[in-house]
Amino acid sequence: METPHLSVDRAKTGDLGEIFEEPPALFSYLPDWQGVVLDRALCRNTPRISELANRWRTDGSSGLPELHGEFRITDLFTAVLQSPPELAWPGSSDAERQLFAEFRVIDDTPIAATGQLAAIRIQPHVEPLEIWYYDMDLNRAEGWDKQYVRLDLTYPQYVRQVALTKGVLGWQYLFTDEVSLRHPDFADVRNRLTSMLDVFPDLFPDWDYTDLLQRLEARL
C-alpha cells in the first residue's frame, strides 16, 4: 500500500505468530472438528499474524478515479474457532441456517460497514474447504434472491487476491460465475473493478494483474 496516491484511513498490523506445518493439536480434541480437513498447504499458507487490516481510498488530488477498499485478515486458526456470523433472519430456510452455521469469517469490512464478508465453510471430509462471499445488498439485484455466493478460490488463493486487489470492495465477484457483472444492477461493482484494473498495474508495477484483467474481460 506504499503509494502517495492512496489515503489510508485505518491500518493495523498485529503480532507475528508461528508457522504451522499441520493444524494445532487443539483441533484433534474438539468434537466439532472431527473429520474436518485442514491440509498442509492450508496450514503453511495461513498468515502468521493476529490481524492485518487496512481501510483506504484514492486521494482526491491524485486525478485517479474514486476507489476505496478495506480488508481485515486474521490468523486462520483463531478465525475458525470463533462463532459463526449471525446472518440468518426469520425468512432464512433450514438449508441457509445450516450453511451459515458452517461459516467462519476470514475477511470483513468493519470500518466501511458495508455488510460484506468472506467466510471459510467448515465441513467434514471436504478438501479443500469452500470459500463463500456474503453481500447484504446482493439480493437487491433483479433476479437474485440470495445474499451469498461460493467463490472459485481456496483459502491460500483468497489471501493472495486480497494482496493483489488491496480489498477493493466487490473484487470477489471476479471469482464467481453465479453473478453477471453485465447486469445493470452491478454497474457500480463493474465500474469499480474496471477502475481498479485501469490504475493498479501502474500504481503497483511489481504485481501481475493479468489474470484479474482476463477475468474481468470474460465477465463483461
Q: Give the 3-state secondary structure of residue 51.
A: coil
Q: How far apart are CA 88 and CA 160, in angstroms?
A: 29
Give the phi and the psi of residue 132 in degrees, each rounded to 5.
-125, 155
Query: How far from 56 is each of 2, 150, 205, CA to CA, in Å?
Result: 11, 26, 19
* Residues constituting the chain: 220
> DSSP assignment, residue 170?
T
Average pLDDT on 186-199 reads 94
Per-residue pLDDT, 48 = 80
Residue 75: all three cell numbers together: 490468523
**Confidence band for 197, pLDDT divided at 50, 70 and 90:** very high
Q: How far apart are CA 136 and CA 116, in angstroms?
A: 6
**Confidence band for 143, pLDDT divided at 50, 70 and 90:** confident
Site of grid cell 490504475: 199
Dmax over CA atoms of the chain, in Å, equals 55
Q: Give the 3-state secondary structure of residue 110.
A: coil
**Confidence band for 5, pLDDT divided at 50, 70 and 90:** confident
Q: How far apart are CA 55 and CA 166, in angstroms?
A: 9
Beta strands in the chain (DSSP E): 6-13, 52-58, 68-73, 103-108, 116-121, 131-135, 148-151
Nearest Cα neighbor of 142 from 116, 173, 179, 115 is 179
Tell me the pTM: 0.93
Per-residue pLDDT, 210 = 96
**Confidence band for 61, pLDDT divided at 50, 70 and 90:** low
User: How many other CB atoms are found less than 10 A from the CB of residue 43?
Assistant: 17
